[in-house]
A and B are shown apart, each in its own frame.
Chain A
Amino acid sequence: MTWIFAALAAALVVIYMARPNFRRAVLSAALFFQDDPVVGSTSRIAWSTPRPTPLFFLQLSVVVLLMLAVPHCRGAAVIDRSARAGVHVFFDRSASMSTQQDGSTRFDAALAALRSATTAQQSAIACFRLSAFDLELTTVDGQVRSVSELLELASRLEPRPLGTELSLVQRALAEPPNPSPDDCATNAAVIVSDMPAPPWMDGPASRGDLWIDVSQPVPNAGIVDLVDDRDRVSGTVQRVRVVVGAFGGMAPSSVRLNVTSPDGVVRTRSIETWDGPSGSVDVVPTLPGRYTFQVSPGGAYRYDDDAAIEVPPSGSIRVDWRAARRDWITRLGWVDDRDHPDLRVLPSIEMLDSRPAIVLGSGYAPHTRPVQPVATFQETSPLLNGLNLDVAERSGMTRAPSLPPGFNPVLTGPESAVWIAQRAAPVAAFVPGLPADGDDSVSRFASTVFLNAARWVLERRPRPALFTLTSPQQPQPSGTRIALHPGEGHTGRTPRSVGAFDPRAPRQVQTERRLALWPWLVGAAALVFLTERGLALLRGAV
């Protein structure tokens, strides 16, 4: 609209150039000008620079005022079109929208439902905003002028092998619309999904928007989850539980799981125990490498039909031993590996980084130091498991150096001397010293403290995942990147749509703040226009 008025202003200048204002002048010798060949033509067309007449400036002022008023009128236009709503369409494009039902996909059904809902109300809808959602909410187009354009844009979307995050829609509905000036100002919403309408849609905070659930129960069987059971210290995968679901009338007894081990052997397992719609199969990986699982029959939803995991090789604990007494590596059955250690044993706090580590103090001196009473201790800390604190007082522990932020004292002595401390993330522990060889109580105390710390750190170290899930950044399944997003394969839900689409219903609009300026601008333009007309009348130039 702004461009239209800018074009009008330009046209006004051109008109004044092409149709200049010939000011009337009375001259007693006027008749002698008739014979002049220069003025023989009576054409009004005479290109010239615009004459700076008051009328010209007044007319230009009118156009400029209207041009300034247009951006401010946009919000007002929404108000004035209270009978013509701006509609925000949220379109589900999660993995489950690829589910086959009634010979087509739920995505196709969603398009049909959107067409049905909007076409009937087309005359009452001023514009649309189209957003797509799965694990993320994306604005496809902020200013859609017609239903046909809306359907065209929606049809270009495709289901992505991602989950559905309904909270994104909830937040978008709850937040006041703050579109850019070029976007459609909406006051109604239509959500098209294969998920049943959540409770907040018809709760007290609901705005009365429309939720269209296009799903129909269809038989489907698929992998619901993969749960691994590992040794806490070594990380060895001891078992993988494959959770399988049967929905929408799929007979559980017919569901089988084919397990392919790294050596290529395929074993078909039946799901013997079912708990409701889900059952499970435990797989014990005996070999490191890729295991694949396939559910048969798969049913209407395909992304949960198969999955793959990578089982890491099981082995000894790898350690980066930087302290003295490297013989302890062998004595503890660990493997020296400075490149990919499971644990680092460091003689100095300055060497600590984000990798799992045990930092050693200056050791124990039970015979040279007097008994030091324990000041405080953290009773629940695993680092103190099996320790005799009486021995601790006699062990001659030295005060820990200044520890980095994140360390919590577990055992302290006089004058707040920290003897043992732990850090949850990144996981690390501070102990007074290495294990001791003796059989005395202090040696056993030292060994217990070190091994407690080693276990605690090793149990909390990050382990490589057996599989990953697809994400908005990497939406396509590949290898162990699988699309086992919760709930996507649950094709047996009862559909639930909410709301009736009535764009003419009065709704809360957030654009009142824009209403301040434009009436003044338009009023000023009208006043200038009247002045110009009056002036033209007086001058006989109407």
Chain B
Amino acid sequence: MTRSGNAPTTDALPISSSQLDRYRLRLRQRDRGTVAGGHLIRQRGQSLEFREFRPYLPGDDIRHVDWRASARHHRRDELVVRTFEHEVQTRVVISIDTRATMRLPEGASKLQLASWFAEAMAYIAARSGDAVALHGLESGRVIELGSSADRWRIRRALQRLHAPGTATPSVSLNALERALPPGSVWLVLTDLYFTTEAEVTALAARVRHAQHGSRWVVLVDFDSWACETHRIGHGLRRLDGPGVTAPELRVRLNPDLLDDVKGRIDARKRRFDRAAAAGGYERLRFKWPLESHPAPADIFREHFFGQEIVRRLVMPDGSR
């Protein structure tokens, strides 16, 4: 019994359990042994789980020929065999960035949406029978959830990770060594707004390294730039925010300056992509709309149900 039926709170996941129940993790092998996107999660074999029909090849077990399907096959001289797959429990690690930059913008914080995404993915993965672990990117703490699809438990674990770090906020990846076994899926939820280039480089190196163990790394980029810059407008501003070391950061905001800064942020992300990509890396963008005060639930639903990459992560249950 789960507690997913609890009444939603203000920061509750804006997708009901019944909606999530219709999804399962889409973690299929496409080309075993290949590089691009090939993460061997489910192995083909004998199991009760039907996988697909395919033409008969020499060496196939004759018992697997589906005679009825072969009769309907468009090539009369070709037999069709039924294949099955057996399920292997997949390890899903969700790293969530809880640094101060993720706690903005007010009212629709990146951390809020990241938490919702983590909760949804953890729930779906657990319901699929996969093992789930949450990892605080700032604290380095790993919380094992196992295959528990208890949304209350997931949320509590996320709340524990949300607690602000004690000392200097930075990326802590050491604990991931044991939490990310080969073949696992690693979701990194962050905005990549790191104070130093070294932190970016360290994370990119870790992501790249993870892919060597047939791990699929999906970095979810929470990008609220449009919303935040639209909210503060143009003109004379005294900027404040995480990581600002200048005593008073006084700027005259105008489109040119904003384009310039945005360009440098994007350049950093592109550098990260180049440094991190090793065949099993993809970046998913959660992009805030050009509104001063967008509804966070709308942002989440739009991306969760509309993004191509999300559809690659999850799929309606029963579809093939």
Contact = CB atoms under 8 A, between A and B. Distances in A.
B239 A30 contact: yes
Interface string B228-255: 1100100111111111111111111100
B239 A25 contact: yes
B257 interface: yes
Contact of B236 (A22, A27, A41): A22
B225 A29 contact: yes
Interface residues of B, number: 40
A25 B232 contact: yes
A339 interface: no
Interface residues of A, number: 26
B250 A42 contact: yes
Interface string A43-81: 110101001000000000000000000000000000000
A51 to B, nearest CB: 7
A208 B106 CA distance: 77
B261 interface: yes
Given A35-B264, A36-B260, A42-B250, A30 B236 contact: no
Interface in A331-385: none
B294 to A, nearest CB: 15
A30 B249 contact: yes
B37 to A, nearest CB: 31
Contacts of A44: 250
Q: Which residue, A29, A34, A36, A42, has most C-beta atoms of chain B within 10 A?
A: A29
A168 B105 CA distance: 83
A27 B257 contact: no
A21 B106 CA distance: 23
B244 A30 contact: yes
Contacts of A42: 246-250
B105 A28 contact: yes
Contact of B250 (A22, A26, A28, A31): A22
A32 interface: yes
Given A32-B261, A46-B236, A26 B106 contact: yes
Contact of A27 (B102, B239, B248): B239
Contacts, number: 109
Nearest to B247: A42
A41 B260 CA distance: 17
A39 B261 CA distance: 11
B251 A38 contact: yes
Contact of B110 (A28, A31, A34): A28
Given A33-B249, A33-B251, A39-B251, A27 B238 contact: no
B240 A51 contact: no
A492 interface: no
Given A32-B265, A33-B261, A51-B235, A25 B250 contact: no
A28 B235 CA distance: 18
Contacts of A43: 250
B155 to A, nearest CB: 23
A458 to B, nearest CB: 97
A36 to B, nearest CB: 6
B249 A34 contact: yes
Q: In terms of DSSP, what is the predominant structure of the interface of chain A?
A: loop
A171 interface: no
B144 to A, nearest CB: 30
B236 A29 contact: no
Contacts of A34: 244-246, 249
Contacts of B253: 25
Contact of B265 (A20, A29, A41): A29
Contacts of B251: 33, 36, 38-39
A59 B237 CA distance: 21
A24 interface: yes
B193 interface: yes
Contacts of A25: 232, 237-240, 253
A318 B225 CA distance: 115
B237 A24 contact: yes
B224 interface: yes
B232 A38 contact: no
Interface in B105-142: 105-106, 110
Contacts of B110: 28
A31 B241 contact: yes
A34 to B, nearest CB: 5
B70 interface: no
Contact of B104 (A21, A23, A26): A26
Nearest to B233: A25
B191 interface: yes
A22 B237 contact: yes
A23 B236 CA distance: 6
Contacts of B214: none
B279 to A, nearest CB: 30
Given A26-B104, A36-B260, A39-B250, A31 B232 contact: no
A31 B192 CA distance: 12
Interface string B34-45: 000000000000
A293 to B, nearest CB: 90
Given A20-B236, A23-B237, A35-B264, A28 B249 contact: no
Given A34-B245, A42-B246, A29 B261 contact: yes
Q: Which residue, A28, A35, A39, has most C-beta atoms of chain B within 10 A?
A: A28
Nearest to B228: A27
A502 to B, nearest CB: 60
B237 A38 contact: no
A21 B251 CA distance: 11
Nearest to B264: A32
B235 A26 contact: no
B93 to A, nearest CB: 25
B211 interface: no
Contacts of A21: 236
Nearest to B101: A28
A22 B238 CA distance: 5
B307 interface: no
Contacts of A33: 239, 249, 251, 257, 261
Q: Which residue, B110, B225, B249, B257, has most C-beta atoms of chain A within 10 A?
A: B249
A44 B265 CA distance: 27
Given A21-B236, A22-B250, A29 B195 contact: no
Nearest to B237: A25
Contacts of B238: 22-25
Interface string B80-118: 000000000000000000001111111000100000000
A38 B257 contact: yes
A27 B247 contact: no
Nearest to A22: B238
A196 B70 CA distance: 148
Interface in A1-35: 20-35
A38 B100 CA distance: 25
Contacts of B195: 31
Nearest to B106: A26
A39 B249 contact: yes
A38 B260 CA distance: 10
Contact of A30 (B235, B242, B257): B242
Given A23-B236, A26-B105, A39-B257, 9 more contacts: A23-B235, A26-B104, A28-B103, A28-B228, A31-B241, A31-B245, A38-B252, A42-B249, A46-B236
22 contacts: A22-B237, A23-B236, A23-B238, A25-B253, A26-B104, A26-B239, A26-B241, A28-B102, A28-B104, A28-B110, A29-B241, A30-B240, A30-B242, A30-B243, A31-B193, A31-B245, A33-B249, A33-B261, A38-B257, A39-B251, A48-B252, A51-B235
A-B residue pairs, 7 tightest by C-beta: A30-B241, A31-B243, A28-B104, A22-B238, A25-B232, A39-B251, A28-B101
